[in-house]
Chain A
Amino acid sequence: MSSRLALRAGLISLLLFLLFIGTWSVATRPVEATDHGADAEYAALMGKGVDKASGFPPPAKVGEAFVTYLSDPFYDNGPNDKGIGIQLGHSLIRVGIGFLLAVAVALPLGFAIGMSPLLFQAFNPFIQILKPISPLAWMPLALYSLKDSDISGIFVIFICSLWPMLINTAFGVASVRKDWINVARTLEVGPLRKAFQVILPAAAPTILTGMRISMGIAWLVIVAAEMLVGGTGIGYFVWNEWNNLALPNVIFAVAMIGLVGMILDQCFGVLQKLVTYRE
């Protein structure tokens, strides 16, 4: 029953995709020379219609870009010409490091804040003010004080991953069922064992939700950050190809960003399933 549903949904997805590609090719088909004179003149006046190649690329052109880049994803011909795999790798490494640093800070701090109403109240105003700041707003300060574009990128990822994880960890820890804590108390369970065997598993689903949100934001932010600081990464690739006016490559990169983002999200979805418990 559900497999039939999946099949039908898949068919509709395929139809939607074909419709999209179809509309796209119709909209971007080469302009024929049968245009009305006045229109051609007008177009010429406006500086358009002269160079057909500069129009929005049709699907076939973008398809070519897919084939070219995916057939050799890891080549490296100097700073401005690297395979898509290498560029994505740079972005993923920055996101990975920034994210792990954020985990290292958010988990212990979130635990402390979640366990102590005093710390919660003390930290809360700072969290509330810092949370809504766009992570890119930190970039100038990071560049100035860290003096390194790579580390600044990582810092921006760190700062944007921090808040959802911190808040969810604190919330998850604070709302662990009183009963479970009382069980641990009546069994005279030590603080470390209580933290790792009771509170952590109890709060794990909430914490992982925070991590999943953080990872989503980090992947959004890395593209913008790399556009700003340049050098390497998928964001830089997009910006570079835009400067080359190579729109097919830009579209290809945009699709890759979406694909990798989806895979990251799915990974966290799997982790989340692993730690979720039914009551």
Chain B
Amino acid sequence: MYKYDSYDQAMVDARVAEFRDQTRRRLEGHLTEDQFRPLRLMNGLYLQLHAYMLRVAVPYGTLSSAQMRMLGDIADKYDRGYGHFTTRQNIQYNWIKLEDAPDILADLATVEMHAIQTSGNCIRNISSDQYAGAVADEIVDPRPYAELLRQWSSFHPEFLALPRKFKIAVIASETDRAAMRLHDIGIKLVRNAAGELGAAFYVGGGMGRTPMIAPLIREFVPLDQLITYSEACLRVYNRHGRRDNKYKARIKILVHELGKEEYTRQVEAEFAHLLNQDIEPPLAELARIKAQFVDPPFAAGLPDAVDRSDPDFALWVDRNTLAHKAPGYAVAVVSLKPVGGIPGDATADQIRLMADLAREYSFDELRVTHAQNIVFPHVRKADLHALWSKLEAAGLGTPNLDQIGDIIACPGLDYCSLANARSIPVAQKISERFAANGKQDAIGELKLKISGCINACGHHHAGHIGILGVDRKGTENYQLLLGGSEGADCSLGTITGPGFSEDGVVDAIEKATDLYLEQRQDGERFLDTFRRIGMAPFKDKIYG
């Protein structure tokens, strides 16, 4: 894992001091709320329906035990004893007092954490593959490149007042586990014909009210031009992105309106100019960062066999663990989606328990996934039973990874001031319905995602099944979408037709999955069957 040096620490400490000063000026009345709002947003502090919400950055989703423990302590000390893991691989606290916010940031800084640029019209926390460094299909660990970009984007003076928020994801495998092409910039590490490592740039993807899949604008950027190319992409956007309408201000609209060719031409011209400006860190800096992401000391000669005599444990192993690149190890995923629970929520005690278990069983490391779950990336297979037993005892053993109960849901109308409808109760009803009817297992992989409004924080466009909360004449109404995917086979869901009430949408989903169970051919997932037979039979089943 990346460790701060004295420079990194000094920057984060300076940020805490700056925010403390800004908060003081606000509380003393020197800053109006209008002036303060963008400043607190740059530090992840939102005003929600009932209280302030603080969003803490988890760069590329990687956490140490000490950091995880601090997240639990903050939940106890400043919130109501729980935290909410988000679709941006971050954590949010929903009940924060403004006066406490500078102290929380100071506490975070003691474990090399911050809330810098987790909100606002700036470059946000960089996301990446949740299984980076643990699975065999990546060509390199993408996180050092994400860290290089983290430092470049932190307090970048030219890009702190962009037309709109800006999200970057970095991956390094064919299997896209980070929805890379649904980001403002998606970077995929690749090898060129000569075998050299470089980066493919996809620019102009995003969800929200106009979802778009990012086009490839450059197949290969050499590693020693990564920052320069990123800067060129951003400068063209900062100058020409629309500022007349916030719904058209994301880079996807610029790329769409200019056309990919013209946007690319402008980026290439800016890039050629910036290459002479000496803004690129030397490769030695990348090497310095990479050295901190070396593999932990995996033991050799460990057994691969797992004792499956306990059926509950065997089920969890089948559902919630994945193959690891090192023999004798597994990747274990904690589902934060218990039946009837709030997706992504964990109590302070659960967070601290996971911190302790990571120290004991996973080389001190955890990951947050964009599906709002927690990963133990490097667990000895021989330790899986012990790990599972302790998780299970704490209510963290739900065996439903990537199943219909493993729902992504945004906070919705229970917390969010922008929401049209509640997301959490719908998620709870669906998970309860499919636990009760026993169909969850038969259905297998099914990614269900819920957003409480068109802003799409719950990624509904990219769900095999997506639900979008809308306001229909003052009542909450839900549109249903089918056929989205965030993976390498990225696609956007299509609306089935007229919307539903809260219970109606649960019924409609059961009908859709019943049709799938009738129609599927060997090995097909819900998504595959939908792609093969199309929308019409689903419409008939749902509305017929």
The reply to whether chain A is a binding partner of chain B is no
Q: Which residues of A contact B (CB under 8 A)?
A: none
B residues with a Cβ closer than 8 A to A are none
